[in-house]
Amino acid sequence: MQPSHPEGEVLPPIGPPIPVPDYTPAEPPQRARARRDRSGWNPLSSPATYALVGANIAVFLWMLAHGVSAQSPSVEDLLRFGATGSSLILAGQWYRLFTAIFVHVGILHIATNMWCLWNLGLLGEPLMGPFGLAAVYVLTGIAGNLLSLAVNVFSGQDAVGAGASGAVFGIAGILIVLLSNKKLPIPWPELKRLRRSVVQFAVLNLLLGGASVFTHFIRIDNMAHLGGFLSGLALGVPLVPRMTAGRQRYIARQKVAFAAAAFLLILFAYWIYRYHLG
């Protein structure tokens, strides 16, 4: 089996540093004021972003501590620590759809993915809240892995893949939708600039992923990127009408949307499995 090596090299969002609005739908005004009054680096201001980055780094360090190469992990090492493997997933190891979004193919892979996750997370967490950002990361990461699995099943391949980039694309996708809401307490020209930056990021990296099929030096699982991106766009649609309806209504809508998305992913996984059985 050959891994997508590395799967999902992505570049930082394009443009100047992203300002965090003073007040956004996912946090109450008093917390926004407290955050604004604090200066310097403070992970508690964006807990989900830092927790997700920390979890990915912790898994990578755990792999290194068990003898995995920092530059070129073997297929066996990737599978041992939770990467996707089409045959293993279809044999019942469905947990790999989740664990793979925290496993990376070398230091360059994790460095680029974490830089993008950090940038997009700091922009997206005020709009979605810690729960929302973490849920989007997991759901879109799994969606990307499922689409990749489906393509492998249809083409008869037994591929191995890993990386957070499908989830990173998912965050980019939902941000494109959420930043289209003109009712947000952010000047519209600034919203357009931020959205344009995220769109450029997504398009550029999808093109890079597509171009990787013409080179032997890098292989990128563009299906995971596409699946994450499309699922992120879809998740954003039901959230937009409730973004300015009050924090409680917004969070309630998030829970419904995310639960529905999880159910649809389960149905998609079941359909892939049934197709595999013939």
DSSP string, 181-231: -TTSSS-HHHHHHHHHHHHHHHHHHHHHHHHGGG-SS----HHHHHHHHHH
Please give the Cα distance from 250 to 235 (Å, whole number).
13
For residue 35, what pLDDT band results from cuts at 50, 70 and 90? low
pTM score over 0.75: yes
Q: In the predicted model, what is the mean pLDDT of residues 49-68?
A: 97
Domain CATH for 191? 1.20.1540.10
Length of the chain in terms of residues written: 278
79 to each of 54, 63, 67, 161, 162, how far by Cα in Å? 21, 11, 14, 9, 9
237 occurs within a structural domain: yes
104 occurs within a structural domain: yes
195 occurs within a structural domain: yes
53 occurs within a structural domain: yes
b/e burial code for range 77-108 (CB count within 10 A of at least 16 → b)? bbbebbbbbbebbbeeebebbebbbbbbbbee
215-269 per-position pLDDT tens digit:
444 456 789 999 999 999 999 999 999 998 888 999 999 999 999 999 999 999 9
257 occurs within a structural domain: yes
Structure tokens at 226: 């596409």
Exposed/middle/buried for 182, CB within 10 Å: 0-12, 13-18, 19+?
Answer: exposed
User: Half-sphere exposure of residue 91, counting CA atoms within 13 Å on the CB side?
Assistant: 6
Please state the domain count of the chain: 1
Residues of the domain holding 272: 46-277
12 occurs within a structural domain: no
254 occurs within a structural domain: yes
167 occurs within a structural domain: yes
